[in-house]
Chains A and B, each alone.
Chain A
Amino acid sequence: MAEVTFLEALRQGLWEEMERDERVFILGEDVGLYGGAFKVTEGFTKRFGESRVIDTPISEAAIVGAAAGAAHMGLRPVAEMQFIDFISCAYDMLTNYVATARYRAGLSTPMVVRGPCGGYVRGGPFHSQNPEAAFLHTPGLKIVYPATARDAKGLIKASIRDEDPVLYLEHKWLYRRIKEQLPEGEVLTPIGEARLAREGKNLSIISYGATVWKSLEAADRLAQEDGLSVEVVDLRTLLPMDDAAIVATVKKTNKVLIVHEDTRTGGIAGEIAARINEQAFEWLDGPIMRVTAHDVPLPYAPTLEDFVLPQTDDIVKAARWLAAY
């Protein structure tokens, strides 16, 4: 079977769900004839028609709100944010309306909001963001963040089939960089289950998104240069968080480094650390440490962006320090 990119895998997942279920439709800016800013939906209009691939005005709040209304009525909308940075324009809709709908009003809102996130691409402060922490603090939204092509496909399909609203974050640095062979037949990744990306025994790295790959690269180097056996856990779903997988890796290696691309303060690493503290404190042989972005808006110049965002070198050094603790 041919290798497919992360982007192609995501595309396949969307395509297959639209073939499988006529309730599924896409709405977003330039998603139709143009095929989306990154070409995720290229060719969809031709196959599914303009009524199922809707080009919208530049109106993120309306996109998300209309998706919610359609979801209440039994459709399965997939709303695209052209860049996830623009989800801030729909923050009110998502957090106040969509996330609370089931709890406060018994309303079913099965919808997906997806879009390209993340840095390492010289996109500057408004085309590089990682907004997951803002939504993690909102009960009622599930958040998935695949790192592999397989999970890009498996999680978009699972998100579309989920009965609740799902925020699906896709890292643009992975779109064409990651290539994998996908298994034959249905590819579904259950929401809420982490993945053991690499087995190890000396130390665990817990990560998600693009930094999973940087963590794996660091693990390779630590094995070669230091003889360290590093385990890498790819969370895949941020909410609901897979506590069992987190606790299991802590119990196995007793040392944890949490790596994410988002900024440090208020980032998801803090939540993971708190859960470890509550559930596996006595298994720790060292402090839980974080490698994250610095607490600044993401700058444009390569020298600045490279400094602000966590790099493989940073992970290697941090892991060495922790291993020696």
Chain B
Amino acid sequence: MALPTSRPTAAIPTGTGAALSSDQLLEIYYYLRLTRTLEERLVALYRQSKVIGGLFRSLGQEGESVATAYALERGRNKDILSPLIRNLGALLVMGAQPLEILRQYMAKAESPTHGRELNVHFNDLEKGYLGQISHLGDMIPVMAGIALTFKLRRESRVGLVYIGDGGTSTGTFHEGLNFAAVQRLPLVVIGEYNHWAYSTPPEKQFAVKDLAEKSPGYGIPAVTVDGNDVFAVYEATRFAADRARRGKGVQFIEVKTYRRKGHAEHDDQHYVPEGELDKWASENDPVDRYVQRLLSADLVDESDLKDIDDRVRDEVDQATDACVDEPLPDAESALPGVFVDPPVADKLWFKAL
């Protein structure tokens, strides 16, 4: 059967990765592998009912998540991105720890949000990530505000924000994009064309062929890249980030990719045409393609990759062991923190009876 009409095509030349050192190439591989292995661990924990709520996979989208984040300037108070549920890889690249992700999913007291929020909904603005809320599109204007601050303070920093193909249907996406364009903000917008918004295919989501057709209407240049080609995504993002850093404004990058798992772990994907998942898995897996490129161009040794696999497995094992039996938060820790002042919400009268 035929692949969807929007089969990945590279609209910009894909590089050789020559600009990246072999250490960097291996580091990118480390994050790809870490993303996948960590999610596989989460699946095991989900099946053991240790994950409290839903589990969301990024299988098939690790390449674009890792490559976009890797193209930013990272470290304390450098660039800032806002990841979506399928950007675990971006979060890890920016410095979030597997231990934090595991604790979030298991709602542990020691999780970054102390059990208040789910999965990747957490932040570290110094490391450079701002968690999403469930309402899609909302992070576009918020990240525009972050980029506005960079501009007002004359800082050489860039914001990057992700939006799914479905998310581009929201009003906040359009308002945020337009605002950022008018203000000529240093913002990179990654439009993830992953073919499914829950069960809704692109043709029921928008009447254009490519997401890249949307942003020119706001005066924002757009490019479409093969989202499963790590090098192409890296180069496009690097270009856009540099451009934004030079004060040239917003750039939209459409990454064509594929969501190989359901919306969440419960979703059996019965709406996906037969054979499509296998086809993407066997012919267009971003990690496989990256490894093939590295090995065929003789950029790294195979044994280096194997060492990274082992290291990742150990790290995920250690992180799991460190938190799986940790306690949930104390009940009354629900009350503080709605405001600075008053610092604690009222405990209601009947709790004292």
Contacts and interface: CB of A to CB of B under 8 A. Distances in A.
A59 to B, nearest CB: 5
Nearest to B337: A296
Contacts of B170: 58-59, 89
B12 interface: no
Interface residues of A, number: 47
Given A294-B347, A301-B329, A30 B335 contact: no
Interface string A286-320: 00010110111101111110111000001101101
Interface in B330-346: 330-335, 338, 345-346
A73 interface: no
A29 B338 CA distance: 32
* B contact patch SS: loop
B52 A301 contact: yes
A244 interface: no
Contact of A296 (B135, B137, B334): B334
Contact of B348 (A86, A122, A127, A264): A264
Contact of A294 (B136, B166, B198, B346): B346
Interface stretch (B111-119, B176-184, B237-245): B111-119
Contacts of A88: 135
Given A86-B135, A317-B353, A30 B199 contact: yes
B135 A303 contact: no
Contacts of A122: 52-53, 107
A34 interface: yes
Contacts of A85: 134-135
B251 to A, nearest CB: 23
Contacts of A292: 348
A122 B204 CA distance: 31
Nearest to A320: B353
A74 interface: no
Interface of A: 29-30, 33-34, 37, 55-59, 61-62, 82-83, 85-86, 88-89, 122-127, 264, 289, 291-292, 294-297, 299-304, 306-308, 314-315, 317-318, 320-321
Q: Which 8 A-B pairs have the closest CB atoms?
A: A301-B115, A57-B169, A126-B134, A34-B199, A307-B331, A301-B107, A317-B353, A318-B350
